[in-house]
Amino acid sequence: MLKGSIVALVTPFTKYGNIDYSELEFLVEQHIRAGTDAIVAVGTTGESTTLTHDEHIDVVRAVTEISAGRIGVIAGNGSNSTAEAVQLTERMGILPIDGFLNVTPYYNKPMPDGLLAHYSACAAASDKPQILYNVPGRTASDMTPDIVERLAEIDNIVGIKEATGDVERVQQLRQRCGESFILLSGDDPTSKDFMLAGGDGVISVTANIAPEQMKALVDAACAGDAERAAAIDKQLVPLHQMLFIESNPIPVKWALALMGWLQANYRLPLTAPTEGHQAEIRRVLERAHLIDVQEQS
């Protein structure tokens, strides 16, 4: 449940800004049908920073109720405040989730001792497995392999989502943390190479719009079938690129709206893509046959 093709699920909103639980159910069912291995609920792609704590927990609870054990559920429990992250961990620890995804504290840029203390406190707040999440592009703080090695000594810290795009870290982390430590790519464009280098899967934005293809990519790459993985990834590259032309999850929610899977509603400070990017998202989806080609007048 903590390996394979894992989707970093978006959080759908109504036009009034409330959580749209009907659309959330539709999205979860789509991933169950597609064979996605697990869902990360209320991570970065799920707009965790704009949800209240009660909303955050309600979304995770709803995903567990909808999925009813048919797909793995991983709850985002990160915060730049250790006290808040601990509270989220304690409150969601009673839910039937498979584990947590805990992002490196953002904005305040803690030193190594601060990271060790932060994650130790979160790990102590629940006995459920915890996956570290290193994404310096978002947090301005890089959790280096030596820090990960020290955190891996904590029993319920079982893996990391590594989003630097540095494939060389796979072997560094494997050597330092052991074969049982779960290594997940957090960077869709380099995820193929990450898995072929020995990674255990990917927590993917692209899986929101192409769940079957991402599942096929993960299965091929984790089995060491480089030729098949390369062929699948070649088709996915334009999607990977398109989904990051603006800050995530702006493009992916717009894409899902064009596909008819949800309404493209955001919470400030996120807004709709620029008109030029809207047109680019449509073009990429048309070329990937994820939406019908728009007739030109």
String of DSSP letters for 33-94? HHT--EEEESSTTTTGGGS-HHHHHHHHHHHHHHHTTSSEEEEE---SSHHHHHHHHHHHTT
Asked whether residue 182 is domain-assigned, the answer is yes
Split into its structural domains, the chain has a count of 1
From 161, 192, 215, 253, the catalytic residue: 161
Asked whether residue 214 is domain-assigned, the answer is yes
84-95 confidence digits (pLDDT tens): 999 999 999 999
Q: Which residue has the tokens 């702006």?
A: 250
Which domain does 212 fall in, by range?
A: 4-225
From 106, 133, 215, 253, the catalytic residue: 133
Active site residue 21: no
CA atoms within 13 A on the CB side of 220: 18
35-85 confidence digits (pLDDT tens): 999 999 999 999 999 999 999 999 999 999 999 999 999 999 999 999 999
Residue 281 marked in a binding site: no
Asked whether residue 235 is domain-assigned, the answer is no
Active site residue 133: yes
Asked whether residue 295 is domain-assigned, the answer is no
Q: What is the CATH number of the domain that holds 115?
A: 3.20.20.70
Residue 66 marked in a binding site: no
Return the percent helix, strand and coil in the chain, to nearest 5. Answer: 45, 15, 40
Residue 23: C-alpha distances to residues 27, 32, 261 (Å) = 6, 14, 7
pTM: 0.96
Q: Which residue has the tokens 């290193």?
A: 134
Asked whether residue 133 is domain-assigned, the answer is yes
Asked whether residue 263 is domain-assigned, the answer is no
Asked whether residue 34 is domain-assigned, the answer is yes
166-180 confidence digits (pLDDT tens): 999 999 999 999 999
Asked whether residue 16 is domain-assigned, the answer is yes
Q: How confident is the model at residue 140 (pLDDT cuts 50, 70, 90)?
A: confident
